[in-house]
Structure 1
Amino acid sequence: MASTEGLVPITRKFLASYYDKYPFPPLSDDVSRLCSEIRSIIPDLLKESPPSSEESSLVDEAGCQPPRKVDENMWKNREQLEEILFLLEKSRWPRALQQPSTSDDSEIAIAFVSIHDKVQKTLKMLEAFQSKNSERVLNIVMTYLPQDFRATLILQQRERSERNKKAAVDALVSSGGTIREKYALLWQQQVDRRRQLAQLGSATGVYKTLVKYLVGVPEVLLDFVRQINDDDGPMEEQRHRYGPPLYSLTTMILLVRVFVLLSCRRFDAGLVKRHHITVLEQAVDVYSNEFIRFITFLRYCCFLDISLILFVLLVYCFRCRNNDDFKEISVAAGSSHEVLLSVESINSYIAWDFSLIQGKMSLDIGFSVEYINPSGQKTLILPYRRCESDQGNFCTVMTGDYKLVWDNSYSSFFKKLGCFGIDSRDHVLRS
């Protein structure tokens, strides 16, 4: 069991003291100025040409408060950037810009190319931020996990889960899903990740075993992750500190999207003037610079992901932990060592990790996993094999009774092996 000495509850007050060291410099005044200018231009564009239902809906969205959660705003910004890039594909330009006949039209076409490039650069920076954030948290987790089947299990679970998520997005896109539908799915997947993290605090299913077995996670950390999605939980401090500038940037990119949409659809009617495009260029330039500055600050100063705070604190637990997981077992010639367990949850895992104590002679031992049905009949689910060790392995099982067998029938030597395994409940197999 890990020592909890020195750990304190991760409350909003605790996070406030942590974030005090990382104040974010205010956004440029140009953000509010350009947002005001765009708001004043939009009614002029709509006055001469009434909005479609899509345009009305988007104008209304730009007038609403942004989402409260920080990561939801990140996805919202990414969605708007991709929508703007879609609008600025050359094949969707107004006809007058695709084949400019005046110097003004040529200048505006050049401006559209510049705007497209800046938006694309910002989108790539945001994608990289989210990807690096996820990778860095995972690397921290894997660094401090014991390098045995537990690390392998967590890594393989994550890789399988992420592959399934990506396949779902790819299937939606290939079937003709819109950008809005794509990002609704991406956000739901992020909500699912957060829910899984919160389940650590509730200690259910596979996570119950991992939480109990990995380190004996202190209650103060379980309390924190249990509240990680709560609107009034400790994470409210993060939203209080860094939410306002992000909310302003979310509103700004929504206004830019509205401006681009209306400009493209009303350009050929002569409603869009050169100074309108100048305002649009300035807005995209300011947004790009300020948003990149914001996510760079988060990456290198303090934010990363709140999961990082959790696992940095868990480092303390790992360092204080007594390494008593493995116990030596002597298996005499002609005998075997068995571990029986019952699995009560479907799609559970049986995992094992063992190695023999090697001396002057090379030793091996037989190993197998059996399923025992209610009538007592045994079925091999992992065929018998001889090995010197078997580390970082597991198999998925259904409900029922299972037996792990180490067999020394082929050798006259005693075998000493250190071993353990887990199933998805709170069974820790130590022998």
Structure 2
Amino acid sequence: MAASTEGLVPITRAFLSSYYDKHPFTPPLSSDVSHLTSLLRTMATDLGIDDEALTFTQPPHKIDENMWKNREYIEETIFLLQQSNWPDPLKQQQSTPDNIQFSIILGKLKDKLHRTLTTLESFQIKNADHVFNTVMTYLPQDFRGTLLRQQRERSERNKQAEVDALVYSGASIRDRYALLWKQQMDRRRQLAQLGSATGVYKTLVKYLVGVPEVLLDFTRQINDDDGPMEEQRHRYGPPLYNLTSMILSVRFFLSLSWARYESKKLKGEQLAVLEQAVDVYTMEFERFITFLSGVFANSPFFIPADVAGAVEIRKNDDYKEISVPAGKTFEVILSVDSVNSYIAWDFSLVQGKINMDIGFSLEFASPTGEKILMLPYRRYESEQGNFCTLMAGSYKLIWDNTHSTFFRKVLRYKVDCIPPVAEPVPFD
């Protein structure tokens, strides 16, 4: 049985604020973060870059986007630290004492950034899985949940294939991360559309996937300009913005150093600053995301299933009623345009003093006119379920009262179709 959201309301910014009051990021970032970032920029200026060219990109406002930017800058820095990408003079003179020491230090920096990259990737995967699994606790614990999980897995495989194809084409790290962020925004737009659904679409989404109203409202407003996540950015954005600027400064300085190496060889004191900056960045960034992981996992909008209570009460205004005369049938025809869409139905009979049942079946008609019986005729007092379509075409739902000689049947029903439902993604 799915957990219930009965009696709950979407989390507000004020609600989150009271929770975050109890979870400050302490101790704050080391002052070395801003100090070393400033030193790196000064050293870049000394390489001959004018002030306009040295204008650094401001960190994004969204926490999620900052995480992706940190991954991008870390990977670019690792790329520069790989021996094959060193300046030719440095590669050609590795036997000198100074260059041997340089090689050892650069190798250590690359290893440290690799560990931080792995930690960040793990954080993102766990956060996405946690959000998905939490939302799933509020959905019916039957084959519908299995369908959604399969759909999410298929969607993620397709996205990975798109990334792999881009990499195979020789695209840069920046191009790859531009695609990764586009995919993330696509997930977010799908989820926002789910929360903003109205009318029949919203009714069916609620029934088909069992999405409670409170979760639909939450997905709709969670990323509003002054919504709940703005409080998260207000509290935890500043240290993350500083860390994003720091790794960008590391990458920028190293890139300029390699470009200017022949005319302005990297000095020992500059390398020492670079080494200290990577040490501080990796230590502080890993401390920050470890803290953030705990805060997010226990934030009020991730309500444990055992807190929620009884199953959500469905509202009567989602239903229609029709009287099916004795010896007659009642049909509803739906058109499906997209493969992997869903047909959903929910019906019951208004009970009287006599034994009440009605026949029900589902037919499919392909665009070429071919007809297939998808659900064989059977008599019911009530039924609810769904059907995952694999084909585009016309679907006919049939309620059959021909077995009854005298009694009309009052049918209470709702039925419709929607395209594939978007999978939950990390909020920010």
TM-score interval for Structure 1 and Structure 2 normalised by the shorter chain: 0.7 to 0.9
Aligned twin of 1:334? none
- 8 Å CA contact 2:336–2:395 kept in 1: the answer is no
- 8 Å CA contact 2:362–2:398 kept in 1: the answer is yes
Distance 1:351 1:5 in 2: 23
Aligned twin of 1:370? 363
- 8 Å CA contact 2:81–2:106 kept in 1: the answer is yes
**Change over 3 Å in CA distance of 1:423–1:168 after alignment to 2:** farther
Q: Does 1:379 align with 2:371?
A: yes
**Change over 3 Å in CA distance of 1:343–1:312 after alignment to 2:** farther
Distance 2:35 2:144 in 1: 53
Q: Does 1:343 align with 2:337?
A: no
Aligned twin of 2:41? 39
Aligned-residue offset at 1:208: 5.3
Cα deviation per residue 1:265-315 (whole Å; 9 max; x = unaligned)? 223334321100000000001000011011111112x1249xx75452787
- Provide the aligned C-alpha RMSD in A: 3.9
Distance 2:330 2:109 in 1: 65
**Change over 3 Å in CA distance of 1:32–1:248 after alignment to 2:** same
Aligned-residue offset at 1:195: 1.3
AA of the residue aligned to 1:155: R
Aligned twin of 1:363? none
Identify the match of residue 279 of structure 1 among 252, 264, 273.
273
- 8 Å CA contact 2:138–2:210 kept in 1: the answer is no
Q: Does 1:88 align with 2:81?
A: yes
Aligned twin of 2:382? none
* Residues 243-254 of structure 1 aligned to structure 2 (within 5 Å): 243-254=237-248
* Residues 131-210 of structure 1 aligned to structure 2 (within 5 Å): 131-203=125-197, 209-210=204-205
AA of the residue aligned to 2:63: V
Cα deviation per residue 1:25-61 (whole Å; 9 max; x = unaligned)? 21011101101111211111126xx89xxxx86x43x
AA of the residue aligned to 1:12: R
Distance 1:385 1:88 in 2: 68
* Residues 12-411 of structure 1 aligned to structure 2 (within 5 Å): 12-25=13-26, 26-46=28-48, 59-60=54-55, 63-99=56-92, 100-203=94-197, 209-215=204-210, 217-219=212-214, 221-300=215-294, 302-304=295-297, 309-310=300-301, 312=303, 319-321=310-312, 340-347=331-338, 348-350=341-343, 369-372=362-365, 379-380=371-372, 382=374, 394-403=388-397
- 8 Å CA contact 2:89–2:262 kept in 1: the answer is yes
- 8 Å CA contact 1:203–1:211 kept in 2: the answer is no
Taking structure 2 as the reference length, what is the TM-score of the superposition?
A: 0.75
AA of the residue aligned to 1:200: L
**Change over 3 Å in CA distance of 1:374–1:36 after alignment to 2:** closer
Aligned twin of 2:352? none
Distance 1:83 1:97 in 2: 19
Aligned-residue offset at 1:402: 2.3
Distance 2:366 2:102 in 1: 75
- 8 Å CA contact 1:343–1:398 kept in 2: the answer is no
**Change over 3 Å in CA distance of 1:144–1:233 after alignment to 2:** closer
Cα deviation per residue 1:244-274 (whole Å; 9 max; x = unaligned)? 0000000001000011111222233343211
AA of the residue aligned to 1:285: D
**Change over 3 Å in CA distance of 1:373–1:183 after alignment to 2:** closer
List alignment gaps of at least 5 residues for structure 2: 316-328, 347-359, 379-384, 401-412, 420-428
Distance 1:83 1:267 in 2: 18
Distance 2:143 2:226 in 1: 37
Distance 1:268 1:373 in 2: 69
Aligned twin of 1:329? none
Q: Tell me how many residue pairs correspond in the alignment.
A: 375
**Could you say what secondary structure the match of 2:48 adopts?**
helix
**Could you say what secondary structure the match of 1:168 adopts?**
helix
Percent of residue pairs identical: 52
**Could you say what secondary structure the match of 2:129 adopts?**
helix
**Change over 3 Å in CA distance of 1:8–1:136 after alignment to 2:** closer
- 8 Å CA contact 1:350–1:424 kept in 2: the answer is yes
Distance 1:248 1:126 in 2: 16
Give the helix-richer structure, 1 or 2: 1
AA of the residue aligned to 1:34: L
Distance 2:227 2:154 in 1: 30
**Change over 3 Å in CA distance of 1:319–1:13 after alignment to 2:** same
Distance 1:404 1:183 in 2: 50
- 8 Å CA contact 2:4–2:138 kept in 1: the answer is no
**Could you say what secondary structure the match of 1:319 adopts?**
coil
- 8 Å CA contact 2:71–2:120 kept in 1: the answer is yes
Aligned-residue offset at 1:349: 1.4
Aligned twin of 1:7? 8
Cα deviation per residue 1:45-79 (whole Å; 9 max; x = unaligned)? 126xx89xxxx86x43xx23211011000001000
Aligned-residue offset at 1:234: 2.3
Taking structure 1 as the reference length, what is the TM-score of the superposition?
A: 0.75
**Change over 3 Å in CA distance of 1:142–1:230 after alignment to 2:** closer
Distance 1:165 1:272 in 2: 41
- 8 Å CA contact 1:2–1:317 kept in 2: the answer is yes
**Could you say what secondary structure the match of 2:390 adopts?**
strand
